[in-house]
Chain A
Amino acid sequence: MKATVLVRPKHGILDPQGQAVENSLRHLGFAVGDARVGRLVELEVEADDAAEAHAQVERMCEQLLANPLIESYQIELEADA
C-alpha cells in the first residue's frame, strides 16, 4: 500500500524557510502570503488493510518522521493498483 505523509510546520510556529520563499515569490511579482514549507515522505507499506497501514504510518510519524513539538502530519493512503 502506498502511503504519503505530509509534514508541516505547526500553526503558529515561525517558518523562516516559508518566509524566504514568500519573499522570493514577491520579488518575482507574485502576490502571495503565508507561505509555509513542509516535507513530503512517500512510502510503500506492507499491511493487510488500510487501517493497519494507517496505524503503522502513524507510529512512524510519532517516532521519527515528525517532531510533534513543532510539526504536524497528515497521512494519505492509496491501495496498490
Chain B
Amino acid sequence: MSDEPGPRVAIAVFPGSNDDRDAQQALELLGADAVRVWHDTVELPDATGAVVLPGGFSFGDYLRCGAIARFSPIMGAITRFAGDGGLVLGICNGFQILTEAGLLPGVLRPNNSLSFVCRDVTLRIERSDTAFTARCCEERDLTIPVKHGEGCWFAEPDVVAELEARGQLLARFAPGQNPNGAVADVAGVINEDGNVFGLMPHPEHAIDPLLGSVDGGLILGSLVDAAKMSFAPPV
C-alpha cells in the first residue's frame, strides 16, 4: 500500500499566485503527487488526476479578480480537462478565475465591508456525496480560514434558487459568520456535473493542529481520494 504512488494533482501557478506552495505541501501530506505548473504551459502533466487553482492575486487582480488569468494558456488545458469530467478545485483567487472563465456560476465581488478579511470561519458543508466533500459527514461544520478582499459571491435570485434546488451551493458560511456579504451565505459552489468546485476559504491553511484546525484536510483529502479513483493505472 505504501509503495503505491499518490495520484497526481496539478497546481496551476499564475503570476501573483501565492498559496501554490501551501497547497502543494497540504496535498503531499495527504498522499498526493502534487506538481506546480506554470500558467503558460499548454498541457497538463501526464496522468493528472485533479487540478487545483490556488489562492493569490493573479495578474495583480487588475481589471477584476481572475479576469486576466482566465486567458492564460493553461486555462485551455484546464477547461478541456474539466469538460472531460476531470476534477478541478479553485481556492479563493482560483474560485474567482473559475467564475470568470464561466466554469462556475456567479461572480466574486468586493466584500461589502470593503475590508480585507482574514480569520477562521465556520463553514457548513451541505453535501458529502461529492468528490470534494466525501470525507465530510452530512451538515458537517468545518473551521477553515478566509483571507480575501473580494469574496462576496453574487448571482441573480433566480440563478441562486436553481443552484440551491440542485444542491450546488455546496459550502456556506455558518449563520452569522458571513464575512463578505455573499448572497445566501455562499462560500463555495460546485458545477452541475459535480467535477468543478470553487471555495473562498482556504483548506490548505487548515491541515495542521499548530494552525488551529485540520478540517481543511477533509476537503483536500476527499479530492486526493477522488483523484486516485479518477486516474486508475492500467492493469
Contact = CB atoms under 8 A, between A and B. Distances in A.
B67 to A, nearest CB: 6
Contacts of A39: 63
A69 B71 contact: no
A16 B113 contact: yes
Given A69-B106, A70-B107, A64 B114 contact: no
B154 A70 contact: yes
B111 interface: yes
A77 to B, nearest CB: 21
B110 interface: yes
A20 B67 CA distance: 24
Given A16-B110, A16-B112, A67 B155 contact: no
B109 interface: yes
Nearest to B113: A16
Contacts of B127: none
| B contact face: mostly helix, strand, loop, or mixed | loop
Contact of A17 (B71, B114, B154): B114
B64 A67 contact: yes
B64 A17 contact: no
Contacts of A20: 114
A13 B110 CA distance: 12
Contacts of A14: 112, 181
A69 B64 CA distance: 13
A13 B109 CA distance: 10
A13 B112 CA distance: 12
Contacts, number: 30
Interface string A56-78: 00000000110101100000000
A20 B131 CA distance: 41
Contacts of A69: 106-107, 154-156
A16 B111 contact: yes
B100 interface: yes
Given A14-B112, A16-B112, A20-B114, A65 B63 contact: yes
Given A64-B67, A65-B63, A69-B106, A16 B114 contact: yes
A14 B153 CA distance: 12
A16 B182 CA distance: 13
A64 B106 contact: no
22 contacts: A13-B154, A16-B110, A16-B111, A16-B112, A16-B113, A16-B114, A16-B181, A17-B110, A20-B114, A39-B63, A64-B68, A64-B71, A67-B64, A67-B67, A67-B100, A67-B107, A69-B154, A69-B155, A69-B156, A70-B107, A70-B109, A70-B154
Interface of A: 13-14, 16-17, 20, 39, 64-65, 67, 69-70
6 A-B pairs with the lowest CB-CB distances in the bound complex, closest first: A69-B107, A16-B114, A16-B112, A70-B107, A67-B107, A20-B114
Given A16-B110, A70-B107, 8 more contacts: A14-B112, A16-B113, A16-B114, A64-B67, A65-B63, A67-B67, A69-B156, A70-B154
